[in-house]
Every structure is written in C-alpha cells, then in structure tokens.
Structure 1
C-alpha cells in the first residue's frame, strides 16, 4: 500500500533583520525552498515565528485581514515595504478549530500585525508574491511538549499540501552577539574572531539531533536539547527554540520515520555568535 505524500517541513533560523537586506547562503536556500513549494502547488503556508507569544495557557492565530508589517532596522524600506501580505483567513479559522479540538485555549487575533521573523522568510522564499499564509503564536510558558503537541495537531495539513515552517534560531542569544560591525559598518556577517566555544558546541548538538533522528526520536532529541549544558549560552531566552519544537511535532510522527532525517541545507553566521542554520525534514515526492 502506497504511503500518503507529506510535504516537507522547514526549521529556518531567520537571524538578524539584515538577513532580509543582504545576500547569503541561507537566503539562497530559502528562495530554493519557495521555488520547490510553488512548483508542487502548495495550498498555503502555516508558520510559527519567534516574536509572538501569549500569556497564561493561551495561543493565538493571526486573523487580521489587512495586517501591517512591523518595521525593521538596518534594512532599506524598498526591501519590504511594498511586499503585499496574504493572510489566509479560512485556514487560520481551521487551525483554530483543530487546536481547540486538541484541547488548546486558542483564539483568533484580528489586530495582529506581522513581524519580521515571519515576513522576512516569506519575502526571501516568495519574492514575487506571498502565498496564502497563516501565522501561529507561541505560548509564553515555553513548554517544549506543549509546542510539540501544537505541531503534531497541525501535522495533518501536510497531507493536504500545506507547507509548515518554524522560524526561530539554532543559536540565538542577543546578549552574546558582537554588535560592533553591524552598528558601525552595517555588516552583520563580519567574523573577526571565532564564535565562542559554547555556541559551536550547541550548534553541533542541534545538527546531531536533527540529522541522526527521525519520527518520535526527533521529538525526544529536540526536547532534551533544552537541558543541554550549553543551551542557556546559546539561547538566553527560549522563544527562538520553540519553533524547532513545533517543527518536531509536525514532522515527528511514527509515520515520519520513513520520510528521512533532517538535513542541514545552509548556514550563515552573524554577529560572531549567532548561527543561522537552515534545516529541512522530508522532501517533495513526485506524483
């Protein structure tokens, strides 16, 4: 019996705002992923970022029909101001229903404006036109198992040709970044000194988990990384790692074991200590 086709799932490290304005290996890979998604006729994108979280036990889904974009620093407005956003309200309402049915306290947010953690990636992936897109919030308690369940709840959308994306960071600690070259020279890619040992070790730990595990093993491995000795060095706050857990939930079912392990497809270091690793789990299957 043939297995059902599942869309791939991406965990993208969006990095600093300058990733929108400057060319990089990561930006080139995002574009390639967008081209492949369009070639395979995706119905839309469902994305969890790293800059929107809700208090108590609530999560939200963006339902603003005409969202604005939060401005970004160090990027010329021509790179993003005229890009037309495309909120997918029917899919947003469907996601709300799916999450509520799974026991989540989930509500729509009709006033939410999009933030660079999501539209930065979308502009790079789909520069000609934004596909129908649904944005899902995090929860501010940053429980890894909670966000795993969010991903697993929305996993069936992969069977309907939706593309699920987590936009966060493999190594993202603003307090450990070296900001001088960006502030003085508008250059976030300068690496005058090597990254700190803790950043290198955690970056490698993420790659080991992503590339050596699949299915439920991937979920367990990414949850354990939050107890890694260098996790707090690599992530001063938990927000940029939650989308990795969302991705693991969406691509970590028993049936996902046959889809293959995650693959590191591109990587861009910024500000000495920020590692923007780009991972894809699964692949497009030809008809």
Structure 2
C-alpha cells in the first residue's frame, strides 16, 4: 500500500471558508482522494494554537469541542459541521511525543479554531473524519517543530493523513484589508503584490519542489528551517506561527521510512488581500 501524501496547506483568511477559489477546489480533490484510500484518520498541526513552556506540545483531547467563530463568513458555512475528535489516536500521539523527549500533554479544554476546521470542511464537506490536532510550541523553534513531525511520522504507515495548515506568505501587517471590509472581496488585486513577497513565495516553492526529490531524507527539513533565515522572511511572515506547520511537514517527510524520492506538487494557489499568498503543497501521492 502506498504511503499517504502529506499536505502543507495555506489556509489564508477566514473568507477562504466562505468564498470559492482554486485552493478550495484543490482541498476538495485531496479530501476525495483520501476518502477513496480509506484513511484511518487525520493528524493536523495548525497555526493558531501553541503550548507555553520549554519543549511542551499539547494534543487536543476535548471529546466535544466547540468551534471558534469565523469572521466575515456566514454561520451557515460552518456552525452545523460536526467535528470528530479522535481521542484514541490523540492518546497515541501523546505517547509517541513523550517517548521522543517532548513534554506532551493531553488538553481536554481546547476548542477548535478555523485554521484547522476550515480545511476539514473544505476537504470533507460530507463529514469530518477522525481528527487529531497537535499544538505548536510557543517558542516557535523551527527545528523543534520538525522533530515533532519526525516523532509522529511512523503513524503515516498506518494510513493516517498528515496536514500542516499555515501560510506560504502570511503577514497580516502587509495585507490590504479595505476591499474585504468594504466589498467582501478578499481576492481583489487593485495593485500587484509587493516584490519582496513575490520573491519569498518563489523561494518557498523552490524549497518544497526541489528538495523532495532528493535521496537525502533530511534535505527538505534543512531547507525549510533555513527559510527562517531568508532575508525576506520577516516581510513574508510578520509572526512565526504560520510557518511552523511547514517545519512540521518537513519533519514528517524526514522521519518517514520508505518515502525517499517522493515528489512535491504545487496543487493550487490564490493571492488574497493583495499580499497574502495561499500556496497548497502535496508531497507524495496515493
């Protein structure tokens, strides 16, 4: 049986849940493929939840989580969608992480945020598969988050689908909000994106596409974590949180046995709010 692919998805603004886009179409295509392959469940790291403390990672274990409200999206798009927390797999994830030296803890009070359930609704509109959400660590160390991915990578062989949801270019301070606030148009491009953001967008595509074909399994991890030293990283990411999921994904690929030479596809892309680039990457295929 082939290994499930691993996704790094840029979830963009909240309006990506309410508006149709190339990314939304691609997310649905990936979800259909996962269901056809009879996945055991989904394991995700998002960009809006971090655990405080050195080496600490939380795993969502709320049996009936609520959904945080989504701004600029009609409630009908998400309020009735039933979440499906996978507590059994969550417990296993805590065990895997603790064995790898993390201070991993179950979190029984965490309610899910749009960065994860936006993707789930788009991928699996007919029903949420069993899903486990892994927190970030609040110190935003790229190497630590890659090690989190590597620690959980053995579950990929059990037909779990791993998803990191963050952003390729995600700097809210550089976004143009007026068209969305005035006209509810998040895809308006009255001017081109800034050149520095176009340059970083190209760098992240080069890193994913060119380093997944290497026989060196650590090539992607080294390249992704090195992007945080890119001279334009801070232009593209005003904060570090939306980049940690990329490091998590790189660690999964690094820690997967038997996945050498998997290729990466840039499956879809949308520019939002002038300067936010939502690139959708898939490594491997069914």
- TM-score bin, normalised by smaller chain: over 0.9
Going from structure 1 to structure 2, the CA distance change for 1:41 and 1:101 (only over 3 Å counts) comes to same
- Residue 142 of structure 1 corresponds to which residue in structure 2? 140
CA deviation digits over 1:161-212, x for unaligned, max 9?
0000000000000000000000110110000100001100000000000010
- Residue 258 of structure 1 corresponds to which residue in structure 2? 260
* Aligned ranges 1:226-241 → 2 under 5 Å: 226-241=228-243
CA deviation digits over 1:24-78, x for unaligned, max 9?
0000000000000000000000000000001122110000000000001110000
- Residue 83 of structure 2 corresponds to which residue in structure 1? 85
* Aligned ranges 1:1-287 → 2 under 5 Å: 5-57=2-54, 58-214=56-212, 215-253=217-255, 255=257, 258-284=260-286
Task: Supply the distance in 1 between the matched residues of 2:155 and 2:82 (Cα, whole angstroms).
Answer: 24
Task: Supply the distance in 2 between the matched residues of 1:77 and 1:257 (Cα, whole angstroms).
Answer: 40
Tell me the secondary structure at the aligned position of residue 165 of structure 2: strand
Tell me the secondary structure at the aligned position of residue 121 of structure 1: helix
* Aligned-pair CA distance for 1:251: 1.1
TM-score, normalising length from structure 1?
0.96
* Aligned-pair CA distance for 1:145: 0.7
Going from structure 1 to structure 2, the CA distance change for 1:44 and 1:245 (only over 3 Å counts) comes to same
Unaligned runs of 5+ in 2: none
Task: Supply the distance in 2 between the matched residues of 1:119 and 1:48 (Cα, whole angstroms).
Answer: 11
Task: Supply the distance in 2 between the matched residues of 1:254 and 1:96 (Cα, whole angstroms).
Answer: 19
Task: Supply the distance in 2 between the matched residues of 1:258 and 1:160 (Cα, whole angstroms).
Answer: 17
Please say if residues 115 and 166 of structure 2, whose CA atoms lie closer than 8 Å, have aligned partners that are also in contact. yes
* Aligned-pair CA distance for 1:255: 4.1
Going from structure 1 to structure 2, the CA distance change for 1:7 and 1:122 (only over 3 Å counts) comes to same
TM-score, normalising length from structure 2?
0.96
Tell me the secondary structure at the aligned position of residue 252 of structure 1: helix
Task: Supply the distance in 2 between the matched residues of 1:36 and 1:7 (Cα, whole angstroms).
Answer: 10
Tell me the secondary structure at the aligned position of residue 191 of structure 1: coil
Please say if residues 166 and 247 of structure 1, whose CA atoms lie closer than 8 Å, have aligned partners that are also in contact. yes
* Aligned-pair CA distance for 1:257: 5.6
Tell me the secondary structure at the aligned position of residue 90 of structure 1: helix
Task: Supply the distance in 1 between the matched residues of 2:42 and 2:89 (Cα, whole angstroms).
Answer: 9
- Matched positions, count: 281
Which range is displaced more, 190-199 or 255-264?
255-264
CA deviation digits over 1:108-131, x for unaligned, max 9?
110100000000000000000000
Please say if residues 148 and 245 of structure 1, whose CA atoms lie closer than 8 Å, have aligned partners that are also in contact. yes
Task: Supply the distance in 2 between the matched residues of 1:44 and 1:261 (Cα, whole angstroms).
Answer: 23
* Aligned-pair CA distance for 1:258: 3.0
Give the alignment's Cα RMSD to 1 decimal: 1.0
